[in-house]
Amino acid sequence: AAGVIQSPRHLIKEKRETATLKCYPIPRHDTVYWYQQGPGQDPQFLISFYEKMQSDKGSIPDRFSAQQFSDYHSELNMSSLELGDSALYFCASSQQGSHEQYFGPGTRLTVT
């Protein structure tokens, strides 16, 4: 079965640079969630979208923004990167009304 696709899988950036992470949800899933997982930590909710509209917002820094496009894929844009932004970034998708979220393989962002 098709799964959530994330790209790139690995990304290395320097401080103050920008990064764009992409997420392609499971076919027919219309809701996308972004999570950040630091080393040895649990995933923390950042932001979610349904039908291209932001549906909920968590602990997402103002330097980050995200959007969902008409084909339901989503992009997380990160600017003025800091060392502390180094983490695994996961996208999860679900069908609206379903409580089950399916996670992608993640993007490992390293900021040097």
Partner 1 sequence: GQQLNQSPQSMFIQEGEDVSMNCTSSSIFNTWLWYKQDPGEGPVLLIALYKAGELTSNGRLTAQFGITRKDSFLNISASIPSDVGIYFCAGQERGGSNYKLTFGKGTLLTVNP
Binding site for partner 1 (CB under 8 A): 4, 31, 33, 35, 41-45, 48, 50, 55-56, 58, 88, 90, 92, 94, 96, 98-106, 108
Residue closer to partner 1, measured from CB, 50 or 65: 50
Establish how many alpha carbons lie within 13 A of residue 21's alpha carbon, considering only the half-sphere containing its beta carbon.
Answer: 31
> How far apart are CB 82 and partner 1 at their closest, in Å?
22
Give the closest residue to 21 by CA, choosing from 82, 112, 104: 104
Instruction: Judge contact between 37 and 88, C-beta under 8 A.
Output: yes
Give the nearest distance from C-beta 36 to partner 1 in angstroms: 11
